Structure formats: C-alpha cells, structure tokens
Structure 1
C-alpha cells in the first residue's frame, strides 16, 4: 500500500514540477502587468510584421472622451514609465478609430501599448516585429472546432478551422466532403457551412494551402427528428455529462444552460396549442444549445492526433497568458473555455498526459 502511495506521490510531484517549469520558462512578456481593460478598450494591429520604414497602423476601440488616451511604442516587455520614454507615440480620438505611427525603428520586436488619460495605465498590449524583409512564417497545423458533428436532413452547421501559428503568412484552407450526397460543404474562408443532404456518414476535411496540414470531422446526418426525439437525446447527453476541470468533463455551468434549453423545448412539446412554426423554432433552439454544450467539453487533445502528450502541453505553454483579443490567440489552448490561457489549462493537460 505504501509503495502505491509513494508512486502516486511521485507522479503528482512530477506533474506539478513539469507545470511549474513550463510557467517559469515562458516569455517574461507574458507576465507584464496589464490593467483590466474597461469595456471595449482594445488595440489591434493591422499586421504582425512591418518592413523598416513602413507606417504602423493601429485600430482601437473605447478611447475616452477627454482625448488624452494614447498609444505608445516600446521595446518588447518594457513597462513605462520605468522603461523610459516611448519610441513612438500619439494621442487617439475618443471612441473607435485608427492611428498611424511613423516607423523609423530598427529591426526588432516591439510592443504597442494602449494607455489611459495621458498616464501609464495599460489596458491593452500588442507585440509586433520590424524587419528588413518580411519573414516567412510557415503553417504548423490546423484544428477544427468540432471533431464529431450530428445533424439532421436539411440542417446547416458551421465548422471552423484554426490555423497555427496565427501569424503564419498563408492561413487559407480548402474544404472537402468524402460524400457530398450526405453532406455538402460551402467554404467561406476559415469556416465552412455544412448542409445535411441525406442520412448517412461522411468526413469533412480542412487542408491548409501552406504545408498541406489536415484536420477532419466525422459528420453523421440523420432523418429529421421530432421535437420529442431531440429532447430525449439532449436529456441523455445531459445525464451522462460531468462538470469539472479534467479532460472529458464539461465546464461549470454548462449543464444548467443545456437543461434550461431542454425545459424550454419541453414546454413547447407539451403545449397542445403550439403552432408548427413554434415547434420548428423550439427544435432549432435546442439543437443550437446542444451544439454549444458540445463545445464546452474539455479536451486535452489539442492537436487532434488522438492522444494526449507533451505536444499538447507545448501548445498551451506557447499561448500562456494570452486572451481572445490578442493577435496570436489560440482558442484551442483555452482548454477550460474561460477566455484566457492560464495555469489551470496547463494543469488540465499535464494531468491528462499522466493518465
């Protein structure tokens, strides 16, 4: 018994050690303090690489009415005012808009900072490079937001591909269906609209133009179900689901959302005066709730290779500290779907690699 406990203890020690080592090896810039942004205060770069001498264009939202909010360019990781004066700067007009800064910067890595009221309260930070010539950033993978899709005849579902890294030069993908008679695909950039044509199964695949990386989803098309059938399927999914912070579980609160949608659909199903239009609306709403619920499932297999390994852990580590409004945001790395990549995401994946 003591040997078993010792082995378990060693595994836990190794697990926490690996997580902490990853955290301390992350870029220092990831830990640069940034104030909690007020609603809508964001900064966006029009690109992540600029040729030396090329104007730097920034889009912003939520600037204050006093006209004293400003943007400044600093060396990557610098925190004003301790880091000294900005290399380039300008005030920004209230509301949303764009500002263009001259670029006489030497080649290197820089941060664009959104700061408030003429001071140094940072509400957003974006990192970019100045280069002598545009660097080729190759694609290293692609993932889909769903690996298993169930839909009914005539239904349309959206499938979205995420190409990594986000700053790759060519993030375009092509889409194919293994059986268009079952499910057809209409591509729209990084997303595809799937239409269920007849009952059966098919595989929908996204392929990157750069590198020919692929990711696929298994699609099942079933005959149009009654509202009661959909309710029963949703209730079974709810009953089998477990909320928590481990691989295969669902994020906290997701079951309550699904149950609320089930209850609303059941009310319509039990209403003898419900019109066909109301029934169809209830079916569509419950299907959408099921699809949202499926996206709330925690999966530590980030690269979609069917196993959980150090490669998945590296994806989280590479996105540590990132949030959705940043250019290099990787939604897959936000394992627990809470809008940020932090130590909890690292812990979930690290623990899953030990199982």
Structure 2
C-alpha cells in the first residue's frame, strides 16, 4: 500500500511539458537532447513537430506527435501549422510549454496567457535575420514585429550562444541564458565510408544546404585541391543548384552529395573525415553570431575544423586550438590554407576539447531554467 501511495504521489507531481518545433522531429538533435534531459529529470514530455512525406519512424522514450500540413513552405505553411499547433496545445493537458524558435512562439504564448501556463523559449537563432528573409522585407517585418511584441514579456528564455543572448538582452531587456548546442559524450564508432574513394583526404560538411553556408566557395576551391574529396551531408534549398554547379565545373569525381543522414548515421561517418568545415558567410547578424552544432560534432569525432572569421566560431578555435580560421575567401588561397591545415596534427587538443564541449555540462543550467520558471 505504501509503495502504491508513493507511486501515485510521484505521478501526481510529475510535470508535463509540451515541446514544439516546426521542422521534422527526427532530425533536430538540439530538441532531442533537451527532451531527454527533461525526461531524465522526471518531466513528462510531448514533442510536437511537422510531418513530412519522407518522415522516418520514431523511437523515443517520450511521446511525440506530428502535424500534417497541406502547405509545405512560406507564410501559408506557418499559418496552417501554427493554427493547428494552437488547438493541440489548447486542448492537451500540460504544466509548461517549451517553444523552439520564433516560428512556434505565437501559439505557445497565446495558450500560456489563456490558460496561465508557464512558458519557456529556446531561440536557436536570430530568426528575423536568417538569409532567407534578406530579400523579403514584408515577411521579415512580420517576424520582427512578432519578436518585438512577445520577447520582452517572456521570463524564461535561453539561446545557443553568448552573442545572441547579449543581443536580445540589450535590445529587449530580457534575461536570455546560454545553452550551447553541444553533442552528448559518445565513444567514436567508425563505419565504411558510403562512397568509393582511394587515399584522398576527406573534407566534410554536414548540415543545412542553404544560401550563405560557404558551399559554393568550397566547390570552387576543390578545383585547386589535389588528393582531396569534398563530401556534403544534408539537404536544403540549394541542394539541386549545387549539384548542377558540380556537374558544370566537372567536379563530380571530387564532390559528393550524401543527402540527409540521421544522427546515428552521422556519428559513424563524421570520424572518417580529415577536416570539417563551417565557413558561413557574414550575411547579417544571424550568420555573424552563428555557432553551428556541426562544429562540436566534428570535435567530438576528433576531426579538426576550419571556420569563418566570425566571433562565436572563431572563439572555439582560439580557445581550444582545434583547427584554423579562414584567412582569405579567394578559392585558390583557401585551397592553399586547407592543404597546409591537413598536414597539421590536432590530436591532443581535440581530445582535451571533446571532454569539455559536451551536452552533459549544459544540463544543470538548462534544468535550473525549468525548475525556476516563473
């Protein structure tokens, strides 16, 4: 009887958090880590995301729900998704709401007001500053107004790097904390590389295939690199145009596209690379403050990195000595830098960095945000 009472008491006190994102649940590693941390701390989790035609089956220790949408992109997609999300949030039992990025914030905020529920906000980026909105002033204005209206009213907020936290705190007098998007600690497991090659050095890019990622520059650079191949893992808006560019430049034997891979597959492929790149362009504040999780995935796989001369990425290289910062974005000069970089040994510094730059060291601060939510 005593055991039954304790079990019931535990269930009664269990807090349920609804977590929402607009992308495919299966590929968002940050959200998965947050959900697992909260689950292990005793919270009940429901994760809501978008259902794609190619969405893969999920095996999670917490509940998930995918929203089917008729419109696949643009303002109609966001309108449809957010309307459906609003009603799901409204009629689902919960104690707390976690909105990921500005594109899920409105329905979460409205439900938090209507039902007096606590809300936590995780900003993965400076959403109104994403390159896709640079030439779309009307859409950018809508997101900016939404951000300006809601963010100053939020009390429980965190983001991916110090630069974004400082930006929001200065602009809106908020109290954003920094939860860096670090990988969990893992043992390195290698597999056979999924393409045929001989003894070439592997330069790897993994992540979104969108404008401003420096991928066009790397393709140009491959014309000047001997004994190297460039492997691109991911999908995005410019995927097809990049493939056409590779064909046009007759580089199909040096540049390979592997498409989207799940985290488990990436964990086995990444350690096979000789160099990981993150050479985003300075296309506004969102890229200037970027601290991509692929940088830390490379480090965790003992792969040295080459990054843009932008503050957050630059600080990782300078503080941990795990690679180099791009000195010149001319393809021929960049090729020379890569050739020299591939001759260097970063084994010792990578081993040291990978022990520090792990998700487990972020969990205490993350949980304090939820436990102290106002």
Structure having the larger proportion of residues in strand: 1
Structure having the larger proportion of residues in helix: 2
TM-score under structure 1 length normalisation: 0.24
Structure showing greater Rg: 1
TM-score under structure 2 length normalisation: 0.23
